[in-house]
Amino acid sequence: MAVVGETVEIGVVPVAVRVSRGGAPRFARRLYPVAALALVVVVWELVKLLVPAHGVSVGGTRILPRTTDGALPHVWAVVTVLGDRDGHRTVGETLLHTAGFTFGLALLALVLGTVVGGLLAVVMQRFAWVERGLLPYVVVSQTIPLIALAPLVAGWGGRIAIAGQPWRPWMSIVVIAAYLVFFPVAVGMLRGLQSPPAAAVELLHSYAAGWWATLLRLRLPAAVPYLLPALRLAAAAAVVGAVVAEISTGTAGGIGRQIIVFSQQSTGNAARLYAAVFAAALLGVLLTGLVSLSELALRRYSRPVGAS
Protein backbone atom coordinates (compact mmCIF):
# COMPACT_ATOMS: atom_id res chain seq x y z
CA MET A 1 0.00 0.00 0.00
CA ALA A 2 1.38 3.44 -0.96
CA VAL A 3 1.76 6.05 1.78
CA VAL A 4 0.90 9.63 0.80
CA GLY A 5 3.66 12.17 1.43
CA GLU A 6 6.48 9.63 1.62
CA THR A 7 9.02 8.81 -1.01
CA VAL A 8 10.28 5.29 -1.16
CA GLU A 9 13.55 4.58 -2.98
CA ILE A 10 14.21 1.08 -4.10
CA GLY A 11 17.87 0.23 -4.56
CA VAL A 12 18.91 -2.34 -7.08
CA VAL A 13 21.82 -4.46 -6.03
CA PRO A 14 23.96 -5.50 -8.99
CA VAL A 15 24.76 -9.17 -9.14
CA ALA A 16 27.82 -10.40 -11.01
CA VAL A 17 27.15 -13.51 -13.01
CA ARG A 18 30.00 -15.41 -14.61
CA VAL A 19 29.02 -16.51 -18.08
CA SER A 20 31.14 -18.93 -20.04
CA ARG A 21 31.78 -17.52 -23.51
CA GLY A 22 30.28 -19.75 -26.12
CA GLY A 23 29.68 -22.43 -23.51
CA ALA A 24 33.15 -23.80 -24.11
CA PRO A 25 35.17 -25.04 -21.13
CA ARG A 26 38.16 -22.93 -20.19
CA PHE A 27 40.56 -25.75 -21.07
CA ALA A 28 39.07 -26.03 -24.56
CA ARG A 29 39.48 -22.29 -25.12
CA ARG A 30 43.17 -22.61 -24.32
CA LEU A 31 43.50 -25.12 -27.14
CA TYR A 32 42.30 -22.64 -29.75
CA PRO A 33 45.79 -21.14 -30.35
CA VAL A 34 47.19 -24.66 -30.79
CA ALA A 35 44.42 -25.48 -33.25
CA ALA A 36 45.10 -22.26 -35.15
CA LEU A 37 48.80 -23.13 -35.41
CA ALA A 38 47.95 -26.62 -36.64
CA LEU A 39 45.64 -25.09 -39.26
CA VAL A 40 48.45 -22.84 -40.51
CA VAL A 41 50.75 -25.86 -40.86
CA VAL A 42 48.10 -27.81 -42.77
CA VAL A 43 47.39 -24.90 -45.14
CA TRP A 44 51.13 -24.40 -45.64
CA GLU A 45 51.64 -28.00 -46.68
CA LEU A 46 48.52 -27.98 -48.89
CA VAL A 47 49.85 -24.93 -50.74
CA LYS A 48 53.19 -26.68 -51.10
CA LEU A 49 51.44 -29.78 -52.47
CA LEU A 50 48.82 -28.27 -54.77
CA VAL A 51 50.33 -25.05 -56.13
CA PRO A 52 52.74 -25.43 -59.08
CA ALA A 53 56.42 -24.95 -58.34
CA HIS A 54 56.57 -21.64 -60.21
CA GLY A 55 53.33 -20.33 -58.74
CA VAL A 56 50.21 -19.18 -60.54
CA SER A 57 50.06 -16.00 -62.62
CA VAL A 58 47.06 -14.34 -64.24
CA GLY A 59 47.65 -11.66 -66.84
CA GLY A 60 51.28 -11.38 -65.84
CA THR A 61 50.39 -10.86 -62.17
CA ARG A 62 51.40 -13.57 -59.71
CA ILE A 63 48.47 -14.50 -57.48
CA LEU A 64 49.98 -17.57 -55.82
CA PRO A 65 53.59 -17.83 -54.66
CA ARG A 66 56.26 -20.15 -55.92
CA THR A 67 56.48 -23.37 -53.96
CA THR A 68 60.00 -24.51 -54.73
CA ASP A 69 62.11 -25.50 -51.75
CA GLY A 70 64.11 -22.32 -52.25
CA ALA A 71 60.98 -20.18 -51.90
CA LEU A 72 58.68 -22.18 -49.63
CA PRO A 73 60.35 -25.02 -47.73
CA HIS A 74 58.41 -27.75 -45.97
CA VAL A 75 57.50 -27.16 -42.34
CA TRP A 76 59.66 -30.07 -41.22
CA ALA A 77 62.60 -28.58 -43.13
CA VAL A 78 62.26 -25.39 -41.07
CA VAL A 79 62.25 -27.48 -37.89
CA THR A 80 65.13 -29.80 -38.79
CA VAL A 81 67.34 -26.91 -39.94
CA LEU A 82 67.63 -25.87 -36.30
CA GLY A 83 70.09 -28.74 -35.82
CA ASP A 84 72.34 -27.73 -38.74
CA ARG A 85 75.75 -26.29 -38.00
CA ASP A 86 76.19 -22.52 -38.21
CA GLY A 87 79.85 -21.97 -37.48
CA HIS A 88 80.69 -23.17 -33.99
CA ARG A 89 76.98 -23.31 -33.07
CA THR A 90 73.87 -24.91 -34.45
CA VAL A 91 71.25 -22.77 -36.16
CA GLY A 92 68.95 -23.27 -33.18
CA GLU A 93 71.63 -22.08 -30.74
CA THR A 94 72.36 -19.05 -32.92
CA LEU A 95 68.68 -18.11 -33.05
CA LEU A 96 68.31 -18.65 -29.31
CA HIS A 97 71.29 -16.39 -28.59
CA THR A 98 70.24 -13.60 -30.95
CA ALA A 99 66.59 -13.84 -29.90
CA GLY A 100 67.62 -13.46 -26.27
CA PHE A 101 69.53 -10.28 -27.13
CA THR A 102 66.54 -8.81 -28.95
CA PHE A 103 64.15 -9.90 -26.20
CA GLY A 104 66.16 -7.97 -23.62
CA LEU A 105 66.10 -4.83 -25.75
CA ALA A 106 62.37 -5.20 -26.42
CA LEU A 107 61.73 -5.59 -22.69
CA LEU A 108 63.69 -2.42 -21.94
CA ALA A 109 61.77 -0.62 -24.68
CA LEU A 110 58.48 -1.82 -23.23
CA VAL A 111 59.38 -0.44 -19.81
CA LEU A 112 60.65 2.87 -21.21
CA GLY A 113 57.70 3.34 -23.55
CA THR A 114 55.21 2.45 -20.82
CA VAL A 115 56.71 4.99 -18.43
CA VAL A 116 56.76 7.74 -21.06
CA GLY A 117 53.26 6.93 -22.31
CA GLY A 118 51.85 6.71 -18.79
CA LEU A 119 53.36 10.05 -17.76
CA LEU A 120 52.06 11.71 -20.91
CA ALA A 121 48.58 10.34 -20.20
CA VAL A 122 48.62 11.65 -16.63
CA VAL A 123 49.75 15.11 -17.76
CA MET A 124 47.15 15.23 -20.54
CA GLN A 125 44.41 14.21 -18.11
CA ARG A 126 45.53 16.81 -15.58
CA PHE A 127 45.71 19.69 -18.03
CA ALA A 128 43.07 19.82 -20.75
CA TRP A 129 45.05 22.36 -22.75
CA VAL A 130 47.99 19.93 -22.90
CA GLU A 131 45.71 17.20 -24.25
CA ARG A 132 44.25 19.50 -26.90
CA GLY A 133 47.70 20.66 -27.97
CA LEU A 134 49.70 17.44 -27.63
CA LEU A 135 47.37 14.56 -28.49
CA PRO A 136 47.15 15.36 -32.24
CA TYR A 137 50.94 15.29 -32.46
CA VAL A 138 51.05 12.01 -30.53
CA VAL A 139 48.76 10.50 -33.17
CA VAL A 140 50.67 12.02 -36.10
CA SER A 141 53.96 10.74 -34.68
CA GLN A 142 52.96 7.19 -35.57
CA THR A 143 52.74 8.03 -39.28
CA ILE A 144 56.52 8.50 -39.51
CA PRO A 145 58.10 5.42 -41.15
CA LEU A 146 60.20 3.63 -38.57
CA ILE A 147 62.77 2.63 -41.16
CA ALA A 148 63.39 6.33 -41.86
CA LEU A 149 63.52 7.27 -38.18
CA ALA A 150 66.05 4.61 -37.19
CA PRO A 151 69.13 6.14 -38.90
CA LEU A 152 68.26 9.55 -37.46
CA VAL A 153 68.08 8.23 -33.91
CA ALA A 154 71.35 6.34 -34.37
CA GLY A 155 73.00 9.50 -35.70
CA TRP A 156 71.72 11.67 -32.88
CA GLY A 157 72.75 9.09 -30.31
CA GLY A 158 76.32 9.16 -31.60
CA ARG A 159 76.59 12.74 -30.34
CA ILE A 160 75.29 11.97 -26.85
CA ALA A 161 77.23 10.83 -23.80
CA ILE A 162 75.49 9.64 -20.63
CA ALA A 163 77.47 10.02 -17.39
CA GLY A 164 80.63 10.20 -19.45
CA GLN A 165 79.81 6.96 -21.27
CA PRO A 166 79.38 6.94 -25.05
CA TRP A 167 76.04 6.13 -26.65
CA ARG A 168 75.82 2.41 -27.38
CA PRO A 169 74.15 1.06 -30.54
CA TRP A 170 71.69 -0.98 -28.48
CA MET A 171 70.45 2.23 -26.85
CA SER A 172 69.25 3.47 -30.24
CA ILE A 173 67.29 0.24 -30.67
CA VAL A 174 65.62 0.67 -27.28
CA VAL A 175 64.64 4.27 -28.06
CA ILE A 176 63.27 3.36 -31.50
CA ALA A 177 61.23 0.46 -30.13
CA ALA A 178 59.97 2.57 -27.22
CA TYR A 179 58.76 5.07 -29.82
CA LEU A 180 56.25 2.46 -30.97
CA VAL A 181 55.39 1.41 -27.43
CA PHE A 182 54.42 4.76 -25.92
CA PHE A 183 51.53 5.44 -28.31
CA PRO A 184 49.08 2.64 -27.36
CA VAL A 185 49.98 3.09 -23.70
CA ALA A 186 49.38 6.86 -23.78
CA VAL A 187 46.07 6.58 -25.62
CA GLY A 188 44.75 3.65 -23.57
CA MET A 189 45.88 5.15 -20.27
CA LEU A 190 44.36 8.54 -21.10
CA ARG A 191 41.03 6.96 -21.96
CA GLY A 192 41.08 5.01 -18.71
CA LEU A 193 41.98 8.04 -16.59
CA GLN A 194 39.06 9.92 -18.11
CA SER A 195 36.61 7.02 -17.65
CA PRO A 196 35.35 7.69 -14.07
CA PRO A 197 31.96 9.43 -14.11
CA ALA A 198 31.68 12.99 -12.85
CA ALA A 199 29.59 11.82 -9.88
CA ALA A 200 32.44 9.64 -8.60
CA VAL A 201 34.95 12.47 -8.97
CA GLU A 202 32.64 14.91 -7.19
CA LEU A 203 32.14 12.41 -4.39
CA LEU A 204 35.87 12.32 -3.70
CA HIS A 205 36.05 16.09 -3.91
CA SER A 206 33.29 16.30 -1.30
CA TYR A 207 35.67 14.44 1.04
CA ALA A 208 38.32 17.09 0.33
CA ALA A 209 40.36 14.70 -1.81
CA GLY A 210 42.85 16.55 -3.97
CA TRP A 211 43.98 15.74 -7.49
CA TRP A 212 46.71 13.37 -6.30
CA ALA A 213 44.38 11.39 -4.03
CA THR A 214 41.76 11.23 -6.79
CA LEU A 215 44.39 9.93 -9.18
CA LEU A 216 45.54 7.16 -6.84
CA ARG A 217 42.16 6.11 -5.45
CA LEU A 218 39.90 6.54 -8.46
CA ARG A 219 41.48 7.27 -11.81
CA LEU A 220 44.39 4.79 -11.80
CA PRO A 221 42.24 1.81 -10.68
CA ALA A 222 39.65 2.77 -13.30
CA ALA A 223 42.37 2.93 -15.97
CA VAL A 224 43.62 -0.63 -15.43
CA PRO A 225 41.04 -2.32 -17.73
CA TYR A 226 42.06 0.10 -20.48
CA LEU A 227 45.78 -0.25 -19.80
CA LEU A 228 45.95 -4.05 -20.02
CA PRO A 229 45.01 -4.42 -23.72
CA ALA A 230 47.21 -1.41 -24.49
CA LEU A 231 50.17 -3.17 -22.87
CA ARG A 232 49.57 -6.29 -24.96
CA LEU A 233 49.66 -4.19 -28.12
CA ALA A 234 52.72 -2.37 -26.81
CA ALA A 235 54.55 -5.67 -26.17
CA ALA A 236 54.08 -6.76 -29.77
CA ALA A 237 55.09 -3.29 -30.97
CA ALA A 238 58.26 -3.45 -28.86
CA VAL A 239 59.42 -6.60 -30.63
CA VAL A 240 58.55 -5.21 -34.07
CA GLY A 241 60.37 -1.98 -33.29
CA ALA A 242 63.45 -3.78 -31.98
CA VAL A 243 63.71 -6.08 -35.01
CA VAL A 244 63.16 -3.26 -37.53
CA ALA A 245 65.66 -1.06 -35.69
CA GLU A 246 68.30 -3.81 -35.74
CA ILE A 247 67.79 -4.25 -39.47
CA SER A 248 67.76 -0.51 -40.20
CA THR A 249 70.81 0.37 -38.11
CA GLY A 250 72.77 -2.78 -38.91
CA THR A 251 73.31 -3.56 -35.23
CA ALA A 252 74.80 -7.02 -34.79
CA GLY A 253 73.88 -9.52 -32.10
CA GLY A 254 70.09 -9.52 -32.47
CA ILE A 255 67.53 -11.54 -34.37
CA GLY A 256 66.98 -8.69 -36.83
CA ARG A 257 70.56 -8.78 -38.01
CA GLN A 258 70.41 -12.59 -38.13
CA ILE A 259 67.42 -12.37 -40.48
CA ILE A 260 69.56 -10.30 -42.85
CA VAL A 261 72.41 -12.83 -42.64
CA PHE A 262 70.12 -15.77 -43.36
CA SER A 263 68.34 -13.89 -46.15
CA GLN A 264 71.69 -13.60 -47.92
CA GLN A 265 71.94 -17.39 -47.68
CA SER A 266 68.29 -18.00 -48.64
CA THR A 267 69.08 -18.97 -52.25
CA GLY A 268 70.82 -22.04 -50.93
CA ASN A 269 68.80 -22.69 -47.77
CA ALA A 270 65.54 -20.78 -47.34
CA ALA A 271 64.63 -22.84 -44.28
CA ARG A 272 67.11 -20.84 -42.18
CA LEU A 273 65.42 -17.58 -43.13
CA TYR A 274 61.99 -18.94 -42.25
CA ALA A 275 63.33 -20.24 -38.94
CA ALA A 276 64.69 -16.79 -38.09
CA VAL A 277 61.39 -15.11 -38.99
CA PHE A 278 59.46 -17.58 -36.85
CA ALA A 279 61.88 -17.00 -33.98
CA ALA A 280 61.18 -13.26 -34.20
CA ALA A 281 57.44 -13.96 -34.19
CA LEU A 282 57.80 -16.16 -31.11
CA LEU A 283 59.50 -13.26 -29.33
CA GLY A 284 56.33 -11.23 -29.74
CA VAL A 285 54.24 -14.10 -28.40
CA LEU A 286 56.60 -14.56 -25.44
CA LEU A 287 56.65 -10.88 -24.47
CA THR A 288 52.89 -10.60 -24.87
CA GLY A 289 52.48 -13.67 -22.65
CA LEU A 290 54.72 -12.07 -20.04
CA VAL A 291 52.51 -9.00 -20.06
CA SER A 292 49.44 -11.21 -19.71
CA LEU A 293 50.95 -12.73 -16.55
CA SER A 294 51.39 -9.24 -15.12
CA GLU A 295 47.63 -8.76 -15.48
CA LEU A 296 47.15 -10.99 -12.43
CA ALA A 297 48.82 -8.36 -10.26
CA LEU A 298 47.26 -5.37 -12.01
CA ARG A 299 43.73 -6.74 -11.81
CA ARG A 300 43.98 -6.81 -8.02
CA TYR A 301 44.55 -3.07 -8.13
CA SER A 302 41.60 -2.57 -10.46
CA ARG A 303 38.15 -2.11 -9.01
CA PRO A 304 34.82 -0.85 -10.31
CA VAL A 305 34.28 2.89 -10.21
CA GLY A 306 32.47 3.79 -7.03
CA ALA A 307 33.55 0.68 -5.15
CA SER A 308 34.59 1.28 -1.61
AA letter at 201:
V
Q: What is the CATH number of domain 95-301?
A: 1.10.3720.10
Confidence of residue 162 (pLDDT cuts 50, 70, 90): confident
AA letter at 207:
Y
Digit-coded pLDDT (tens) for 94-127: 999 999 999 999 999 999 999 999 999 999 999 9
Burial group, residue 239, by CB count within 10 angstroms (0-12, 13-18, 19+): buried
pLDDT at 185: 96
Digit-coded pLDDT (tens) for 169-206: 889 999 999 999 999 999 999 999 999 988 888 888 88
- Report the mean per-residue pLDDT for the chain: 84
Confidence of residue 240 (pLDDT cuts 50, 70, 90): very high
Report phi then psi at 89, rounded to 5. Answer: -125, 170
HSE-CB of 238 using CA atoms within 13 angstroms: 33
CA 298 from centroid of its chain's CA atoms: 17
Is the predicted pLDDT of residue 20 greater than 70, yes or no?
no
- The proportion of the chain whose per-residue pLDDT surpasses 70, expressed as a percent, equals 87
Is the predicted pLDDT of residue 142 greater than 80, yes or no?
yes
pLDDT at 278: 93
pLDDT at 14: 45
pLDDT at 304: 52
CA distance 83 to 293: 32
Confidence of residue 11 (pLDDT cuts 50, 70, 90): very low
Average pLDDT over residues 25-51: 83
Confidence of residue 239 (pLDDT cuts 50, 70, 90): very high
CA distance 194 to 32: 35
* 201, 207, 211, 217 alpha-carbon torsion, rounded to 10°: -70
Mean pLDDT check: name the lowest of 50-59, 121-130, 154-163, 175-184. Answer: 154-163
Is the predicted pLDDT of residue 37 greater than 60, yes or no?
yes
Mean pLDDT check: name the lowest of 6-15, 195-204, 288-297. Answer: 6-15
- Name the residue with higher pLDDT: 109 or 248: 109
